[in-house]
Every structure is written in structure tokens, then in C-alpha cells.
Amino acid sequence: MRAIRRFTVRPVLPEPLAPLGELVMNLRWTWDAPTQDLFAAVDAEKWEALGHDPIRLLSEVSPERLAELSADRSFLARLEETAADLREYLTGDRWYQTLGPQAPRQIAYFSPEFGISAALPQYSGGLGILAGDHLKTASDLGAPLIGVGLLYRYGYFRQSLTADGWQLEHYPIVDPQALPLTLLREPDGTPARVSVGLPGGRQLAARIWVAQVGRVPLLLLDSSVEENAPAERDVTDRLYGGGTEHRLLQEMLLGIGGVRALRTYCRITGAPQPEVFHTNEGHAGFLGLERIREYVEEGGLDFDAALEITRAGTIFTTHTPVPAGIDRFTRDLVAQHFGGDNASPGVPVERILALGAEDYEGGDPALFNMAVMGFRLAQRANAVSTLHGHVSRAMFAGLWPGFDQSELPITHVTNGVHAPTWVAREIAELEAKARGSADVGAWEAVDAIPDAALWETKRTLRARLVRFARQRLRESWLARGATEAELGWIDNALDPDVLTVGFARRVPSYKRLTLMLSDRERLKRLLLDPERPIQLVIAGKAHPADESGKKLIQEIVWFADDPEIRHRIVFLPDYDMDLAYQLVTGCDVWLNNPLRPYEACGTSGMKAALNGALNVSIRDGWWDEWFDGENGWAIPSADGIDDPWRRDQLEAAALYELLEEQVTRRFYDRDASGLPRRWLEMVRHTLRSLGPKVLASRMFAEYVEKLYTPAAASSRALNASFDGARELAAWKQRVREAWSGVRVDHVESSGPGDGAEVGGSATVRVYVSLGTLSPEDVDVQVLHGRVDDSDELQEPSTTSLKPAEAYEAGRYRYDGEVRFDRTGPVGYTVRILPSHPLLASPAELGLVAWPPPPHAMTNGDLR
């Protein structure tokens, strides 16, 4: 029979053990080894059996054991020490406290998913893991940040396989009472509520759970509250489940409800209000609409001024170079939810629709695009690797017509990973010993790790992965209907001394899960090589609606089921953070073969590198940036080939060849003492060269410097007096209206004629019409530099000209000089841009005036 209500009864800890409660409720334990050891000491067997979940541990440990511990002096001393360490961690000054007052006083970080621990299953993949690592890093660095997300009652899904290798999804209930979450309450003890209006007079209400991630609170909105109608209760049922309208409701709750939850949290706790709002991908983009509404309805601003002030403090991070991966709704659906009886007087629905409109070449006029709205609601935006920066600027160039892609307001901050979460303790200890100090900055010190110790540690970790994989494999086979008697072979599946290749990812098509199967016989030979075999550990989930992804998983499973090779290749179901940890710490090689350039960044290879694994990867995402020829291998990618089948064949062949000729040879090349010296050299080089780069602390510091601090400055400038926002909005309006009257009329240059020499210069005179604008409103620039065969300027430098004369009403002459600081073909052109001290980028308004062609000139042909 089924229960009609469900509770999780929490244990009452004996008084001396009370600090355990504190330690359990702060998720810092997920990355603090001493706290984990303390939990293990409560009941080592249960700690393992319950998957390292301290809340379950405490609810299942026997009262006798608790009584025993309350009288155990050494345990109590350790408990007190660990609790004191947590309190110190939560209050002491850290890196952020060394920054000046320009750094934001509070940052809000919105994301549809957060991967903090396998015990808090609120993530599907890389986006969520990144968000979790962002929060943990903010905490370690002492940054004032509040996370905002949703609490999904069934998380993403748990994966298992049928006998036939087909993915099955399970949705075990995630009971907030059984998680390290606290309900946010009003001072009078009633649970705090936020609600979001829906069409037809309905309200979508939510309660707010707070997860404490070290110093950082994470607010999770949960719509399963009694006052909601059943349909509204289900809004936060599943991550990325349901249809389009369901997703829209989730995003309305996340964005609009999220801002309201933040306000409520700050009011109740006295935390400072955020100055900067960061949205991790477009899903939370409606947060900007709510902030505009606040400024209009509570601050008395008009929509345009409110838009400026909102943009000033907003950062949008784009994550997908796959156009199909972008969140889009029909305009009608958006109009229905933000217009009619649910319209907000300060935020007219036409204005909302305009923010998400694909009103550029190639856009679809029927759709509302969350990424496009993201760019329009954020004055600053970024991609997540250097290559992804290029790809994103090309992908969204239509939003800023007339500008060179290099000038578009999309910068990049390459992702990083949170080392305390992802580095095996054994590796961290080796490094600490080599450093001889707690100075984590000293990466050269890894040179001092002896080969033998490094190799021994890698073997220990590989053996641990093998044990873990056998266990999961057994569980998987039992779930697929096998009997114990048939599973004897699993005791010998995988080998702790064989070169171990890890391969795990979500299964969208660009990740090419089955590329390695292109030539099955060749792969088999690699697996079964008598002297230099490899073994493969594979994991990954396909989205429940992605039938072709499930088919790919089935292909891998069928291949791996073959008795001839099943001891060398395994597919482990239910890829989650625990499995990811085992894989990245235990493998020797991390394999990644996406279709370039669709991997925006990728972070699992970074986790592996931090554990001394070598990457074998297509040069995509982060690997394109940091592969240096010595820290792993690049699979040559056949970028120019349009036929996808042929491209896969070529890239797979290159992968096999790398594995056959280089990777395996080097791994099995042993000296007299049995050590692979050259392999270990590469491992050490990987740790030393990539160690400092792939860290989330490097990433977070870059966000602070490039995005958060400038956004706080812009936001303060406009918030100090709303007049600034009104003035900026009015100025933009005036410039837009007047722009059709802005022209370059005529350009003159006098200079060296055909004998230009390095160090020489030419005088440039530009005659412009500014219509109703004045010289303070614009920047007249000369762009000069090398030109290619078709007179395109290559990475030109820019010089602003000075107005010299107003020779007619609205017409001005500008003068300046171009210096020839290089030999060979050079050229220049001129342009007019809007100019205002509060613009963050010259392309911000998407307005520019160029001279009529032909305007290029080459050296020796100075007209």
C-alpha cells in the first residue's frame, strides 16, 4: 500500500554530539576531508553503505552507537576541533576581504541546476557542476554571494539499463526533510513565501529552502506547497522534464520568484542586497524583468531608465554553441504569460517581446529567444573558453550589425573546477608533501614528487576505480536480470595495472559517444593487445526524450556485453558526481571527442588533469586553449570536412592511431625498476602547467575582475541617483532617433604620398554630419593597421580624432594623424560611434556610421 503522506524523522542527537548537527547541515563537508573522516568514524560501514550521505548516516546509526560516541573522549575532542574549524572557516577573512571597496558588496548567482554533491541531486551535467563549483569557490575565497535555484522534487533522473541495454529512467522522490536544507522562515516562525502571477488570476507560490554551502547560502524555490493548485505544485517536479509551457513556468519561478526570494532572504537575515546579478545561461533571464518592474513600480522610473539600471548590474554567461541548445519559446506563449490579465503595468508585454525577439537576419520572428534576451538585459556577457568566445561572437553577431566580431560585447572567462571537490586526497597529500608548505600556489614543487611515489599513488587510485566499477557493474547486471551465478566474471573485470581510459559525459550528439566504435575490430585489438592493452570505463545519461541518445548508449552497451571483451570495457549506469569523482581520480587517460567547436568548455578533463591523468582530446573548448604538446594529446580534427560520416571516420582513425602509436607505447615503456619514466614526466608536466589554470579559484577571480567589479561600478553610478539612469536612457533614445542623420561625408589625407616609410605619418581630416547630435555624443575614430589582399583591416588599432571645426550647422571637421609603425601593406578607415561614459562597449547600442565605399587605401596609394 502507498502512504498518503510522508515524513522523514530526524534523530535527536545526544547533547555532547550536538555539533555533528552543525557539521551535517553545512555542505562544506562535501569538500572537507577531515569532516568526512569524522562522519566515517561515527560508523564506517554505514558511511560507505549509505553512499557518504551524513544525514542518512545520522538517521540510521543506532542509539547505542550514539550513546557510545557521547562518552568517547577522543571522538568528542575531534568533533569539537572539526566544529571549531568550520566556525573559523565561516567567519575569518579570506581573499575577497583583501579587495578594495570597489568589489561588489553582494552578488546573486542564478542557475537552473546546482551540482554540489551526489547527496543533493539537483543537477544534470556540466552546467550544474559548474554552478556548484562556483558557489564552493566563492565560499573558499570569502566572496559575498547568494545562489538562487529551484528544488526539484525528483531531481533529474536515475539511470539504469534493461537486459537489452536500453536506458530506463527512475524518479525517486527527493525529500527536502532528508537533505541538508533549512526552510526559510519569517521572524514569527511561519514559512516564508513568494509567489508569481500567472494568467487567469492564478498564483504560483513557492517556499524557500536554504542550503548552506560553506559561507554561501543557496536559495532553492519549491512549488510543492498546499496553497498551489495541483498543476502549480508540479512546476518544480523535474529538472529539464515536461513540455514547453512547463519549462516557461519553471523559468518564471526561477527568474521572477528568485528575485523575490532574494529580497525576502535579505530582509529576514539582514544580508546586504545584491549589487550584481549573474545568470548562468539564459534560463533565469526573467530576473531582469522583475528587477525592471521593481524600479518602475517601486522606484518611480520609466521602463527605459529601469532597463538601463538593470542592465548595468547584470552579467549573462552563455554556455552553448549549439543553436538547438538555446532556450526558445513561441512569442504567443510568452505573450500569454506576460500579457492579458497577467500583464504588469510597469513592464508592457510588447517591451518584453522585443527583448527576446530574433529581429536580425536569419532569426525566426515567431520565436522568443532567452539568450537574446539575456544579452539585451545584461550590459556584460561572457562565453566560457577562448574558442567559445569566438564561436559565440559569430553566433550572435546579428545582434550588433556593422561591428567586427572582435568588438562585440561578449568576453570570455574559461571555466575551472573546484580542486577540493575533485582532487583525490592521495594526490593532494603528495603535492602538499612536495611543497613542504600549505602554499597551494607553488606548482613547480610537483617536480619534487618522486616517480615511484607518484606511480604508486596512481596505482592505488586505479585499483580503487576498478573495485568501484566492479561493484557498480554487478549492481547493473543484477538490475538487468542476471543472477549472481552468472556474474563470476565480474571479479576479474578490469585490471588495476592496465592503462585505464575514462570517458563520461551527457549524451547529446555532438559529444559523439560512439565515435570509438567506428572501427570495432581496431578497438577490440586495442583492448585485447597482449602487451599493451587499454581498458575503457564509460558512463553517461541521455535526456529522457532523446531516443537517438539512448540508441547510442545501447550500442556501447551491446559492444561492451561481448564476453570476449567485457573485462576490458564497461558501461557504468547512473553517471553522477560520485561516479565522476571515481573516474577522474582513477583513470590514466581522459578521452574527449566532441565535434569541434560544439564543446563550449568541458570541465571533466580538467578534473582528470588535476589528478594526474593525461587528456586525449579533440582541440575543443578548454583543450584548444591549454594543450601545449606535452600535457597530453590532441586528436586531429577534420574541421573542414562537411560530410559528417567521413569526418567521424577520419577523426576516429586519428584517435586509434594516437592510442596505438603514442599513448599505449609511452604508458607501457618501463625502465628497469618498472616505472614509465616518460609517462610520469608528462603527468608531472600536466600537474605543473595545468594545475594553476584549471582551478575555479582562477576562474572566480577573473569574474570578479572582468565582470563583477565593473558591473558593480556601473550599477552604483546609476543607483546613486536615478537621474543618471534617466539621463542615460534619454541619451540612448535621442542617439537612436538621430542616428540616421549621422554620416561620414568625406575623408582627406595628406602625407608621404607613395613613399610612406616606417615611422612616418599621414594627416587625416574627416568631415562628418552629426545631424542633431553634438561632438560630445560621438567618437570619431581612425582604424589603421595591416590589410589583407582584399583590403580588409586585420586587428586594426583605433585612434579617436578631435573635433577641429564646426563648418556648418551639424557638420564638423575632425583632425588626426595616422602613424605607420609597420612595413608592408597597411590601410585605414574611419567610423563614428555613439559615446557615453557609461557604455561598457563601443558596440553596445549596435550603432555605427562608416564612410561610403571605397574607403580602403594601401601604402603607396595615398589619396
Ligand X SMILES: *Cc1c(COP(=O)(O)O)cnc(C)c1O
Q: In whole angstroms, what is the distance from residue 335 CA to residue 326 CA?
A: 19
H helix or E strand, kind and range, residue 818: strand 811-819
| Interacting span for ligand X (CB under 6 A) from 602-610, 691-699, 738-746, 831-839 | 602-610
Nearest approach, Cβ of residue 504 and ligand X (Å): 7
| Max CA pair span of the chain | 97
**Contact residue for ligand X among 604, 617, 631, 697 (CB under 6 A):** 604
φ/ψ (deg, to 5) at 698: -65, -45
Distance CA(416)–CA(384), nearest Å, equals 9
Q: Contact 572/579 with Cβ under 8 angstroms? A: yes
End-to-end CA, the chain: 91
Locate 606 and state its grid cell. 580538467
Residue 807 is inside which H or E element, if any? strand 802-808
Closer residue to ligand X, CB minimum distance, 265 or 626:
626
Instruction: Kindly state whether residue 502 participates in binding ligand X, applying the rule CB under 6 A.
Output: no
* Minimum distance from residue 178 beta carbon to ligand X (Å): 21
Exactly one of 82, 593, 603, 859 binds ligand X (CB under 6 A); that residue is 603
**Under rule CB under 6 A, residue 602 binds ligand X:** yes
Nearest to 134 by CA among 158, 110, 166, 106: 110
Considering only 67-75, 104-112, 234-242, 596-604, which stretch makes contact with ligand X by CB under 6 A? 596-604
Phi, psi of 683 (to 5 degrees): -60, -45
The correct pick among 79, 107, 129, 391 for binding ligand X (CB under 6 A) is 129
Burial 754-786 (b: 16+ CB within 10 A, else e): eebeeeeebebbbbbbbbebeeebbbbbbbbbe
Complex with ligand X: residue 391 or 857, whichever CB lies closer: 391
Smallest gap from Cβ 594 to ligand X, in A, equals 8
Query: Is 580 or 618 the residue whose CB approaches ligand X more closely?
Result: 580
Peptide bond into 597 cis (omega under 30): yes
Strand order, beta sheet including 811-819: 743-750, 761-769, 811-819, 802-808
Stretch that binds ligand X, among 177-185, 204-212, 572-580, 853-861 (CB under 6 A): 572-580
Contact status, residue 509 vs residue 553, Cβ threshold 8 Å: no
**Per CB under 6 A, 576 contacts ligand X:** yes
Q: Does position 501 bind ligand X by CB under 6 A?
A: no
Question: Residue 786's beta-bridge partner residues?
Answer: 794, 826
For residue 842, state whether it binds ligand X (rule: CB under 6 A).
no
CB 347 within 8 Å of CB 259: no
Least distance to ligand X, CB of residue 126, Å: 3
420 binds ligand X (CB under 6 A): no
Contact between 577 and ligand X (CB under 6 A)?
yes
Cβ atoms 771, 741 nearer than 8 A? yes
Question: Judged by CB under 6 A, does residue 54 bind ligand X?
Answer: no
CB 698 within 8 A of CB 692: yes
125 binds ligand X (CB under 6 A): yes
What the block records as the C-alpha cell of 238 is 523535474
ω into 854 cis (within 30 of 0): yes
Please state the closest distance from residue 384 (CB atom) to ligand X, in A.
Answer: 10
Closest-CA residue to 558 (of 265, 258, 855, 163): 163
Residue whose entry in the numeric block shows the C-alpha cell 555532438:
510
In whole angstroms, how far apart are CA 450 and each of 135, 447, 548, 672, 686?
Answer: 35, 8, 47, 16, 15
Least Å distance, CB 70 to ligand X, is: 37
Among residues 505, 568, 666, 685, which is the contact residue for ligand X, using CB under 6 A?
Answer: 505
Residue whose CB is less far from ligand X, 559 or 598: 598
Q: What is the spatial distance between Cα 681 and Cα 683, in angstroms, rounded to a whole number?
A: 5
Q: Are strands 276-280 and 314-317 parallel, antiparallel or unpaired?
A: parallel
Q: Select from 780, 797, 764, 771 the least CA-distant residue to 831.
A: 780
Q: 3-class DSSP state for residue 542?
A: coil
Is residue 612 a contact point for ligand X (CB under 6 A)?
no
* Smallest distance from ligand X to CB 602, Å: 4
The site string for ligand X over 319-358 (x = CB under 6 A, - otherwise) reads ----------------------------------------
Is residue 648 part of the contact set for ligand X (CB under 6 A)? no
577 vs 793 by CB, closer to ligand X: 577
Among 112, 126, 374, 842, contact with ligand X (rule: CB under 6 A): 126
Mark residues 517-556: x for contact with ligand X by CB under 6 A, - for none. Answer: ----------------------------------------
Separation between Cα atoms, residue 523 and residue 506, nearest integer Å? 22
Q: How far is the CB of 626 from ligand X (least distance, A)?
A: 14
Specify the residue, 167 or 714, whose C-beta has the smaller distance to ligand X: 167
Contact between 122 and ligand X by CB under 6 A: the answer reads: no
3-state DSSP call for residue 326? Answer: coil
Does 575 engage in binding with ligand X (CB under 6 A)?
yes
Q: How far is the CB of 495 from ligand X (least distance, A)?
A: 25
Least CB distance from residue 510 to ligand X, whole Å?
11
Tell me: does residue 580 bind ligand X (CB under 6 A).
yes
Q: To the nearest whole angstrom, how small is the minimum distance from the Cβ of residue 550 to ligand X?
A: 18
Q: How far is the CB of 158 from ligand X (least distance, A)?
A: 13
Where is 691: in which H helix or E strand? none
Rounded Cα distance between 697 and 695, Å, is: 5
Q: Does 466 bind ligand X (CB under 6 A)?
A: no
Number of residues that bind ligand X (CB under 6 A): 12
Residues in the chain: 863
Provide the minimum distance between the beta carbon of 555 and ligand X in the complex, in angstroms, as a whole number. 19
Q: How far is the CB of 634 from ligand X (least distance, A)?
A: 16
Smallest separation (angstroms) from ligand X to the CB of 603: 5
SS (H, E, C) 217-254: EEEEEECCCCCCCHHHHHHHCCCCCCCHHHHHHHHHHH
Nearer to ligand X, 554 or 604 (CB): 604
Q: Please, what is the minimum distance in Å from the beta carbon of residue 726 to ligand X?
A: 43
Query: Near ligand X by CB under 6 A, which window of 16-24, 125-133, 366-374, 688-696?
Result: 125-133
Residue number with CB closer to ligand X (583 or 839): 583
468 binds ligand X (CB under 6 A): no
- 400 lies in the site for ligand X, by CB under 6 A: no
Residue 155 sits in the site that holds ligand X (CB under 6 A): no
Residues at the site binding ligand X, with contacts judged by CB under 6 A: 125-126, 129, 505, 575-577, 580, 602-604, 607
